[in-house]
Amino acid sequence: MSGLLEEMTAKALKLNIPLSVQLDLTYRCNERCVHCYLDHEDHGEMSAAEIKGLLNEMAEAGVFILTLSGGEIFLRKDFFEILEYARRKLTFCVKLKTNAILIRETEAARIRDLGVESVQISIYSHRPEVHDAITLVPGSLQRSLDAARFLKSQGLRVILANVLMAQNFQDYPSLRALAAEMGLESTIDPTITPMMDGDRSVLNLGIHRDALRQVFRDSSLVGNVEEFCAVAPEADENSLEALPCSASHTTCYVSPYGDVFPCVQFPLPTGNVRKQRFIDIWRHSKQMNEVRSIRLKDLTTCPSCTHVSQCSRCPGLAYLEGNMRGPSSQDCERSFAKTGIPSANMLAKRPSAGNLVQIRLHSSSACAPAPGAIA
């Protein structure tokens, strides 16, 4: 984050302004990515008129950065009507997230004319047999990459976003090289989000602990490996007063049905813009204020954890595990992959010596887990 944006974010935090909102325009999609957490049926999306009304309310509330995502946003016939309203009338800083397979030269030129800040395209590999096996749409890699070229040729900022899974892990260096060759930015993320209905089976698609360890030791990704993988400094009172993340503080998420959540990855219902004004949900929702009140010191397991002062703990993933004040196992894995030191949560989940005694009648100390190992 730039210094000035950081300064503006601090100001927004102080004034309780939602500086950045992700609005999903639809959950419908023309791809069927194996790891996707969404239900792609349309259960009553907001109309263009409803969305324009919402955008008016958001602008009035001070929202500056508007991320339009989905589902696949270009499946909405009124997408450009909404985008034009957001840009020309309300001057949002608009970022798009898309698979881009419906973007051709004409759409790319229109996106450029409307002054979109960036277009993020989901790409999982440089190899069609890997990417298309994830999207389950033959030819999708070629179409997405063609779109990336059209957008780039218009001078737009294009970001290739890659979710790391066991299926595509080996390909990330080549995909990054391809992005660089095309003059595009690229990101990788090992986070798999559980399904919105709570089904966690998609988590099995994630990369193995050893692979994560390897990613965190790739200096082309993390810079100084020693620094990146260093054990966190001991937490003091100040660090335990810190906010867990920006969700509900300066950012939130709105679904295609008007439901407002702290974040796209934090499906705690806080209100619906079809029934209440956006600003009233933001300021007065009991749930929004509950999330807002949580400090690191209030968490259940984490305050005593070695990693607490540097942990990437996602409160949304913790909520999806059953407790928004609890640990997020995926982030525990990250801290472990970086440092080799198990988190407090991992240690708590280890089989206790008592259990071992019960199972192995003649247990000895050699049966206990070695220090530093995890269950």
- Contacts for 36 with CB less than 8 Å, ≥ 6 apart: 29, 202
Q: Which residue blocks in 189-294 are alpha helix, DSSP H?
A: 209-216, 219-222, 225-228, 237-240, 278-284, 286-293
Count, residues near other proteins per rule CB under 8 A: 27
Q: Which of 39, 60, 81, 298 binds other proteins (CB under 8 A)?
A: 60
Residue 68 CB, shortest distance to other proteins, in Å, is 13
Cα angle: 196, vertex 198, 201; to 5 degrees: 105
Query: Are 345 and 327 a contacting pair, CB within 8 Å?
Result: yes
Residue 15 CB, shortest distance to other proteins, in Å, is 6
* Nearest to other proteins of 126, 249 (CB atom): 249
Q: How far is CA 353 from the centre of its chain?
A: 37
Q: Which of 48, 115, 239, 325 binds other proteins (CB under 8 A)?
A: 115
Please, which of residues 4-23 interact with other proteins by CB under 8 A? 4-5, 8, 11-12, 15, 17, 19
Please, which of residues 168-227 interact with other proteins by CB under 8 A? none
Does 118 bind other proteins (CB under 8 A)? Our answer is yes
DSSP bridge pairs for 186: 160
**Distance in angstroms (rounded) separating the CA atoms of residues 65 and 219:** 31
CA dihedral defined by 279, 322, 318, 21, rounded to 10 degrees?
Answer: -20
**Distance in angstroms (rounded) separating the CA atoms of residues 215 and 352:** 31
Does 94 bind other proteins (CB under 8 A)? Our answer is yes
* Nearest to other proteins of 155, 354 (CB atom): 155
Q: Which of 34, 62, 105, 110 binds other proteins (CB under 8 A)?
A: 62
Residue 261 CB, shortest distance to other proteins, in Å, is 22
* Nearest to other proteins of 55, 296 (CB atom): 55
Does 2 bind other proteins (CB under 8 A)? Our answer is yes
**Distance in angstroms (rounded) separating the CA atoms of residues 129 and 146:** 17
HSE value, Cβ hemisphere, 13 Å, CA-based, for 190: 24
Residue 111 CB, shortest distance to other proteins, in Å, is 12
- 200: helix, coil or strand? coil
DSSP letter at 45 equals P
Does 274 bind other proteins (CB under 8 A)? Our answer is no
212: which 2 tokens? Answer: 């994560």
* Nearest to other proteins of 64, 216 (CB atom): 64
Q: How far is CA 288 from the centre of its chain?
A: 19
Q: Which amino acid is at 102?
A: L
Residue 279 CB, shortest distance to other proteins, in Å, is 11
12: which 2 tokens? Answer: 């927004």
Stretch that binds other proteins, among 110-118, 254-262, 293-301, 318-326 (CB under 8 A): 110-118
**Distance in angstroms (rounded) separating the CA atoms of residues 143 and 231:** 43
Q: Which of 39, 47, 81, 88 binds other proteins (CB under 8 A)?
A: 88
Stretch that binds other proteins, among 31-39, 60-68, 245-253, 262-270 (CB under 8 A): 60-68
74: which 2 tokens? Answer: 């270009």
* Nearest to other proteins of 2, 106 (CB atom): 2
Residue 281 CB, shortest distance to other proteins, in Å, is 17
Q: Which of 13, 34, 48, 90 binds other proteins (CB under 8 A)?
A: 90
* Contact residues: other proteins, CB under 8 A: 2, 4-5, 8, 11-12, 15, 17, 19, 56, 59-60, 62-64, 87-94, 115, 117-118, 157
